[in-house]
Amino acid sequence: GEDVEQSLFLSVREGDSSVINCTYTDSSSTYLYWYKQEPGAGLQLLTYIFSNMDMKQDQRLTVLLNKKDKHLSLRIADTQTGDSAIYFCAESFDGGATNKLIFGTGTLLAVQP
């Protein structure tokens, strides 16, 4: 079945690290994605990882992939108030060539000053 699960809410203090977790179900997923959505806006692609990778780092963002447990995480270092948003995890389904994405319900990240 197609299902991506995320925790609903995470609160951190400015300057701390944030870790947002996600579990997915399709072991044949080619790519896994993290998107950010601010109120009333579209989805901003933060980063994505190919399924044969374990880790990807891009400035303040670190993605870890555990294929055995079908677990994906996004770590944001030195979290800022501007990072407050909803973060969506998504897996590509039915092969990367067609990029049909299955999204989680999103994690609301609240950054306290």
Partner 1 sequence: DAGVTQSPTHLIKTRGQQVTLRCSPKSGHDTVSWYQQALGQGPQFIFQYYEEEERQRGNFPDRFSGHQFPNYSSELNVNALLLGDSALYLCASTRGGELNTGELFFGEGSRLTVL
Residues near partner 1 (CB under 8 A) are 4, 30-31, 33, 35, 41-45, 48, 50, 88, 90, 92, 94, 96-106
CB of 54 to partner 1, least distance (A): 16
Indicate left, alpha or beta for 8 from its phi (over 0: left) and psi (-120 to 50: alpha): alpha
Nearer to partner 1, 79 or 92 (CB): 92
CB of 95 to partner 1, least distance (A): 9
CB of 31 to partner 1, least distance (A): 4
Nearer to partner 1, 66 or 105 (CB): 105
Q: Which residue, among 59, 7, 29, has the nearest Cα to 47 in the 3D structure?
A: 59
CA 28, CA 7: separation in Å to the nearest integer?
23
The residues that bridge with 85 in the sheet, in sequence order, are 109
C-beta neighbour count of 23 within 10 angstroms: 17
Nearer to partner 1, 85 or 90 (CB): 90
